[in-house]
Amino acid sequence: MSKILIVDDDEIFRTMMAEMVRREGYEIEAVSNGQEALEYIQRERPLLIITDILMPEMDGIEFIMKLNQDGNNIPIIAVSGGRRSISLEFNLESAALMGVQTTLPKPFTREALRAAIDQALEHSPPSSGLR
C-alpha cells in the first residue's frame, strides 16, 4: 500500500480528507503544518503530498519552496480555500508557479480529489526512494 502525506492545519478538514483518501486505497499520514511535514519526509518518503496553502508555523508555499530547494521530486497537490485577504485563486496560482502537479480549490468532492491524485501521480517522475 502506498502512503500519502496530508498537510492541513484544520483538524476537521484534515480528518475528512484523510478518510476520503483512505477510501481510495491509500495509507495516510496527516500533519498540521509544513514543518511537521518536513520532519516526516526526513523519516519516510510518501508517494504523494496533499498540502493546504494557508497554515501556521510553515505555510504551504514555504513548504513547497523548501521541498524544491532540497531537490525533492515528490508529487504535490496544493489545496486552498483562500481567506478574506488572499483569494484561493492567488494561492493556487502561486502553488502552480512553484511546480506542484495539481491544484484543488476547497471545498471539493471525493471525485475531484480522486482525479487530482490520479493526475498528480500520472505526471510524477519515477521514485528514487529516500535521498
- CATH number, residue 108: 3.40.50.2300
Residue 31 near residue 40, CB atoms below 8 Å: yes
Asked if residue 51 is part of any domain, the answer here is: yes
Asked if residue 47 is part of any domain, the answer here is: yes
Is the bond preceding residue 107 a cis peptide, omega within 30 degrees?
yes
38-75 in b/e form (b: 16+ CB < 10 A) is bebbeeebbbbbbbbbbbeebbbbbbbebbeeeeebbb
Query: Per residue in 18-40, pLDDT tens?
Result: 999 999 999 999 999 999 999 99
Q: According to the model, what pLDDT value does residue 48 have?
A: 97
Candidates 36, 7, 39, 34; CA nearest to 21 is 7
Q: According to the model, what pLDDT value does residue 128 have?
A: 41
Q: What are phi and psi of 38, to 5 degrees?
A: -60, -40
Asked if residue 128 is part of any domain, the answer here is: no
Residue 3 near residue 47, CB atoms below 8 Å: yes
Asked if residue 115 is part of any domain, the answer here is: yes
pTM beyond 0.75:
yes
Asked if residue 129 is part of any domain, the answer here is: no
| Domain with 82 in it | 3-122
Rg (CA), the chain: 13
Cα–Cα dist 3/40, whole Å: 12
Apex 107 CA angle, 102 and 73, nearest 5: 20
Report how many domains make up the chain. Answer: 1
Cα–Cα dist 71/42, whole Å: 13
Asked if residue 127 is part of any domain, the answer here is: no
Tell me which residues of the chain have a pLDDT lower than 50.
84-85, 127-131
Asked if residue 56 is part of any domain, the answer here is: yes
Q: According to the model, what pLDDT value does residue 131 have?
A: 30
